[in-house]
């Protein structure tokens, strides 16, 4: 009999930054940034939606544009986004997260928008 381990199942739900960017760019998923507001304002993926993990944990619903869609969660390094995926999948949402978070996103040369539409920074 074959059993897939829980850690393998979790690993299969993760994307690298380029894969996440491609899925969002092609409309296959919504990118959801779960960092806190100050982090988001310093710099975020240009088309990402924002819902801090603290509000997701408190029971807040996904933004309307993300409801009923596949979600790719992202945070600074990947820890909070993994928590978000667990919450979202528990609510019946198809969700995955980005390995390495916004740090890896930026290192991959992907766009980061700042508060005035200029280049942002990862806080």
Q: What is the pLDDT of residues 81-108, one digit of tens each?
A: 999 999 999 999 999 999 999 999 999 9
Q: How confident is the model at residue 11 (pLDDT cuts 50, 70, 90)?
A: very low
Catalytic residues: 75
Instruction: Please report the pLDDT score of residue 115 as a whole number.
Output: 81
Q: What is the pTM of this model?
A: 0.88
- Tell me the C-alpha distance between 24 and 8, whole Å: 24
DSSP alpha helices (H): ranges in the chain?
Answer: 6-12, 17-25, 37-42, 53-57, 79-90, 101-107
pLDDT in tens, 20-71: 999 999 999 999 999 999 999 999 999 999 999 999 999 999 999 999 999 9
Map out the domains of the chain as residue ranges.
Answer: 6-107
Q: List all residues 6 or more positions away from 85 whose beta carbon is below 8 Å from its beta carbon.
A: 13, 73, 95, 96, 97
Domain 6-107 fold is Oxidized Rhodanese; domain 1 (3.40.250)
**Integer Cα distance of 34 and 109 in angstroms:** 20
First to last CA, the chain: 47
């Amino acid at each position: 009999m074959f059993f897939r381990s829980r850690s393998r199942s979790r690993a299969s739900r993760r994307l690298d930054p380029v894969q996440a960017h491609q899925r969002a760019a092609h409309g296959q998923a919504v990118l959801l940034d779960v960092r806190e507001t100050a982090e988001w304002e310093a710099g975020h993926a240009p088309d990402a939606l924002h819902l801090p993990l603290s509000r997701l944990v408190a029971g807040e619903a996904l933004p309307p544009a993300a409801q009923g869609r596949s979600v790719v969660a992202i945070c600074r390094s990947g820890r909070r986004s993994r928590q978000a995926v667990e919450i979202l999948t528990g609510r019946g949402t198809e969700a995955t997260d980005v390995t390495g978070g916004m740090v890896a996103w930026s290192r991959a040369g992907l766009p980061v928008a700042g508060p005035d539409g200029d280049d942002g920074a990862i806080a």
